[in-house]
Chains A and B, each alone.
Chain A
């Protein structure tokens, strides 16, 4: 009878996959689960334990993903392990996942893989994927049903062989104050064809400050309608055709799934591969990318959005937990003092002891923890076997296994304590600091390449990281280890990691703590500043969302945009120029840099000329000078030194006129000191062959009809112009 049942179940599973007679569709559904995120956002915890095994509401994350895959009808999962692969494999072997009927889990292990792209290339070489597969990372929580998305994918694939991937997306409204407070990820812009659901554009690093995105004109030309979204969330669940793997192999430079692969496919119009989207509505899907999304997803789980993957359902061998009123989850054998107050939306693990007068709210407490009396725990994640002595205070922190907090210790918001750290008596750990028994590796660079390069660190021993860091050239400042050794109070064990450079800004974005008040007001002020921009965004993007061609962008707003842009551009150029002056960078290099800025801001060479000139004059005025003649001398010097730079942008007469206009503007507004020197500097510029006489004359002619107030400088340089006129006449 057992066999019969099994067969029936298998048949049901097969039927669920697809009913069409296609041979390919008969394949049982496979999945690739990447048990490594190839990032370092969860450091220092991930130095000791792989991210997929970190407990999420007291259950290792990978269990959520596997449970979902199993429920979604996937028959075979390849778990790709890289960092800490041994731990992952050991865990899986001891779990129930290897003994499930109709669901096989196989592990693929490799240590020298540094990106998702490499992992997929390796899997392709192994030749284990035979049909459509689900690509997911081991930190994704979902309860969606794959049936419909899979069906759509297969149907599209039948019609169009180039439809290689279906990306699952979900609506997620940006909050009015901040767009990234929910998952802590960058804002994501997508352009989707509303009829076919084809993905046309994907940009996850949109510049917040600019408030603009650039769409290729061809997109608008080729598609009758496009809907632009900033309210979609990428669930990082993809249904892929087997071609995807070969694509990765063909393009060996693809590393990141989104930044390289998706964008690569979207830009590449030779092969014509297409990516489609499938939006889910009622079901849940989210990926844990950083500490903030860890916090958010945990809370979503406690609020039961991920049902049936919630603590009181034993979906993967978790402990029996009972749900009580006000969202309190309590496992068995908890010792709780009568006077302890356990607030709503709290999970308390098996065998935990809570002392008298302790207050716990919105938190997750692991198994076997001992919490003393008068302890305050708020919005925190405390893993297993943690000892918290009397009078400690924890607000919005993550505390890993085996940590000991001596009496009276205080953790400020955003603190992360890695495994087995000991915090001394009455020690206050400052906000957003990360404490680990391991020293901080000395490479801090948010640069992506480096992130890839050192993410394998999980497998490499700690000391060797430091070794490589030291070997790599002197550009990286290897900090002395004394710097990491502030004592953690009396009896404290561990190192406080210093926050990496520029990280201060980033810390609050990705931490478990809610965004502090001042940052919120800052953000909302920033929003007010470009209010128009925001309203424009709202009306055009989030509400109706459907742009018919490019008719929607209103004139006024365009100006606003470009003005805004040029201000930024000017600032950038100035910064580049000043740096060049300070560091004696070669002119050619400066030209290169300015050119790249020009491209990225989409500016004309006239703008460049203006900006470069502006920065030169700024420099001149900043150089100390006592009199007007000295200033003139300075200016002349600077112009002589950097004339090559300026000249490279003066291709046509228009640009020269732009310079004069710019100069005029400066004299009127920002650098009034120049105004008496206008004519003389104009002369210098003429002498240095930067300005041709045509340009000056054209400028003068243009000004002829202007207001009196505008003509101040034309007047001033009247003699010079006169002289130029005569000279040219003579030549004729």
Chain B
């Protein structure tokens, strides 16, 4: 445990001091950290899943608080929690299936894993859920008798006591399965660029003009994949003031042999009529299909809408956030230093608080992100394929458990 604590503190520090840039790196490191947390966590005989969930939540809460703007951290924490629940569910299904409901065979279990839950499996799942964790709002509303039975089972724990030997093997299996699944998740995060890029040829056609803003590794790979498939097209890159990451993107594109035109952000509206498709990266995708993206993106999206140009957002599944944006321009934004906009030395005479009323007349606001509302987005391309903004909630339901939306340990946790 102390070992993980060091790792956690180290990562917390990095998050707090904004030393990790980019949601992919953050997501991968979060997943790796949580993996080691899980592997270090000692699991009790009863309620192993609960212990793991508690451990992950404890760390996750700190991580999310360290940098609330980096949504990828929270996403990964929730994904891992979901993985634990799923794995636990499938194990319980197997166990209960083996002991009580002999009619339910192993293939049912497999089916459950695949997501095509049959009627009987769903019933089993509901039963298993009730034995292993506190009831969610959903179960409370849907199925009162089952949830009413919960306190009995969990408090007495009668049925689990008799099978200690079975349990210990099960707990080892649970931990093992969870770590396996987290490894898969890490793999997914690492390869998300390739997965998305694979779909490039379906979207980019011959002689098209593509516009993008700022720099995104996903976009770069996407464009390059199309180029590799012998598509010839041109790219307009808006520079992405004030950090000018578009310059870097243009450099990389040119290095890979793509015909590139660099424009200022303010020229986007002038150029949009010549563009066939806007392809951009995102910082995060919210549950309603809205996008948190580098500043200036809303302008591009509005320009695209005006000229009926498709606005395509590329996002790895780690960027899907199960939260709904509330006041996103402020609360999900990071205001960076004004020195990116102007030189302090040159303007220091405007920052003169010593005279006049004591408050400066010049304010500099440098937000890092824009919020693009879902109605402006034509298509999301994730590693699982293309989706409509209105479909995001469904995708999110696949990845996250409704119980984890608020990552906070209950005060009474630890039953």
Contacts and interface: CB of A to CB of B under 8 A. Distances in A.
A339 interface: no
A320 B65 contact: yes
Contacts of B6: 2, 101
A511 to B, nearest CB: 10
A2 B339 contact: no
B359 A362 contact: yes
A384 B371 CA distance: 37
A182 interface: yes
Q: How large is the interface on B (under 10, 10 to 19, 20 to 34, 35 or more residues)?
A: 35 or more
Contacts of B330: 323-325
B98 interface: no
B338 A304 contact: yes
Contacts of B360: 299, 303
A2 B339 CA distance: 36
Interface stretch (A281-289, A450-458, A623-631): A281-289
B343 A281 contact: yes
A385 to B, nearest CB: 25
Contacts of A173: 345-349
B16 A313 contact: yes
Nearest to A508: B354
B353 interface: yes
Contacts of A306: 337
Contact of B345 (A67, A281, A295, A308): A281
Contact of B335 (A323, A379, A515): A323
Contacts of A296: 351, 353-354
A378 B356 CA distance: 13
Given A170-B345, A314-B66, A305 B355 contact: no
Interface in B223-263: none
B106 interface: no
Contacts of A396: 358
Contacts of A713: none
A395 to B, nearest CB: 9
Interface in A276-322: 281-284, 292, 295-296, 299-300, 303-308, 313-315, 320, 322
By CB atoms of chain A within 10 A, which of B66, B340, B352, B364 has the most?
B352
Nearest to A512: B358
Contacts of B7: 1-2, 5
Contacts of A172: 344-345, 348
A362 B17 contact: no
A483 to B, nearest CB: 31
A267 interface: no
Contacts of A344: 363
B411 to A, nearest CB: 16
Given A171-B343, A345-B363, A513-B358, 15 more contacts: A2-B7, A5-B10, A173-B348, A175-B349, A180-B354, A181-B352, A181-B353, A182-B353, A281-B343, A282-B344, A296-B351, A299-B359, A303-B364, A304-B364, A313-B16
A474 interface: no
B36 interface: yes
Nearest to A343: B359
Given A281-B343, A282-B340, A514 B351 contact: no
By CB atoms of chain B within 10 A, which of A173, A323, A361 has the most?
A173
19 contacts: A1-B7, A2-B7, A101-B10, A182-B348, A281-B345, A282-B339, A282-B340, A300-B351, A305-B344, A307-B337, A308-B18, A308-B337, A313-B18, A314-B65, A322-B331, A362-B359, A379-B357, A379-B358, A514-B356
7 smallest CB-CB distances across A and B, nearest first, come from A171-B345, A181-B354, A307-B337, A514-B358, A173-B349, A379-B358, A282-B339
B36 A295 contact: no
Given A282-B344, A303-B364, A182 B354 contact: yes
Interface in A222-252: 231
A71 interface: yes
By CB atoms of chain B within 10 A, which of A101, A344, A513 has the most?
A101
A306 B358 CA distance: 19
A176 B347 CA distance: 12
A295 B360 CA distance: 12
Contact of A182 (B13, B66, B351, B358): B351
